[in-house]
A = this chain, B = another copy of it.
Amino acid sequence: MTRDERAPRRPTITDIAQRAGVSISAVSYALNGQPGVSEGTRQRIVAIASEVGWRPSNAARALSGFRANAVGLVITRPARTLGVEPFFMQLIAGLEGVLSAHNSALLLQLVEDHEQAIEATRTWWAERRVDGVIVTDLWTDDVRLKDITEMGVPAVLIGKPSDPTSLASVWSDDATPVQSVVDYLVALGHRRIARVVGLPGLEHTRLRTEAFLKAARDHELTEIDVVTTDYSMEEGTRATRSLLTRKRRPTAITYDNDVMAIAGVGVALEIGLSVPDDVSIVAGEDSQLNVLVHPSLTALSRDIPNFGAHAARVLLRLIETSDAKSYQDATAHLIVRGSTSRPKPG
């Protein structure tokens, strides 16, 4: 296959070497800041390089034992829940900032299930397209961790894995925020609290639900409920409808994300209940969506871009030094807005 004829041949270090009258090694040393060339020669070479607009060929660098200068992110979510979830875009924004500052590219792939995710990761790593990967949406007993460990690909997990692993992770405390939400609702006077949770297999779903149950026990709440969904609007709607049409409906519902919480508000209105008078709503993830709607939603907030930035930093460090150090990010905090209040007496 021929190269692209339209574009003029891009300059290589050979061209620079010729123009400078030195060997290509000298050029390589000069351009990489390695010792082995005099300061004068280096400057001459650098000048020529920038004059001809030279850039290193990533393929050539990667081939001679260096990095691919890229990290991979595989997102495993059904396509329909993806668009509206601001989480991933924010995470990507955070990752990106750090990566591009380190001249690393971000490879993105969206897949439907874990098997495809593993396959994508395996391909990337086997083809040495990436130097490492970011793994999101950890499941309890996640099958991927074994594969990833075996592959030997540097990886940073987003979230705390359920089992001890040698893989590095960037995580934040899932239990405390849930606890504080329950404390808050109980303090307002709520006794019937329900939780609409995301995908049941996810480890953080488990952690949060556990924390919820513990908090309920602490407060001796007897009428609590946990409904499982897939994070989608539709299931948020379904879950809320089922909760709010019970004989003794909850006076407060907390959701694992923002999209479902908003769907929940819609259902309440549809049923003729007012938020927050008849039912208080708490979103488990914060985004602009929560302030976009009326009433604006009380939510657990985290700085997700920052979270992503941390993950990127840990991964780059891991790639660079093979030194895996997990990092605990800030804990989500409650932002009280208009969707929560004391329950109506009675």
A263 at interface by CB-CB < 8 Å: yes
A155 to chain B, nearest CB (A): 12
A82 at interface by CB-CB < 8 Å: yes
A117 to chain B, nearest CB (A): 12
Q: Which residues of B contact A83 (CB under 8 A)?
A: 86, 89-90, 93, 287-288
Interface size, A (range): 35 or more
A6 at interface by CB-CB < 8 Å: yes
A110 at interface by CB-CB < 8 Å: yes
When C-beta atoms are compared, the residue in chain B nearest to A319 turns out to be: B4
A187 at interface by CB-CB < 8 Å: no
When C-beta atoms are compared, the residue in chain B nearest to A80 turns out to be: B288
A305 to B82, CA, bound (A): 11
A111 to B83, CA, bound (A): 20
Stretch of A37-45, A58-66, A202-210, A246-254 contacting B (4+ beta carbons < 8 Å): A58-66
A288 to B289, CA, bound (A): 12
A152 touches B59 (CB 8 A): no
A82 touches B88 (CB 8 A): no
Q: Which residues of B contact A96 (CB under 8 A)?
A: 108-110
Q: Encode A40-83 as 1/0 by CB contact (under 8 A) with B.
A: 00000000000001011111111101101110000000011011
Q: Which residues of B contact A152 (CB under 8 A)?
A: 4, 6-8
17 other contacts beyond A82-B89, A262-B293, with CB at 8 A cut-off?
A: A4-B152, A7-B151, A8-B152, A10-B128, A57-B128, A59-B62, A59-B63, A60-B63, A84-B287, A84-B288, A84-B292, A96-B110, A105-B129, A107-B107, A233-B292, A266-B293, A266-B294
Among all A-B residue pairs, the 7 with the closest Cβ atoms? A7-B152, A59-B62, A55-B126, A83-B86, A58-B127, A59-B63, A83-B90
List residues of chain A with CB under 8 Å of any chain B CB: 1-4, 6-8, 10, 53, 55-63, 65-66, 68-70, 79-80, 82-86, 88-90, 92-93, 96-97, 100, 105-110, 120, 123-124, 126-129, 151-154, 233, 259, 262-263, 265-266, 269-270, 287-289, 291-294, 305, 322
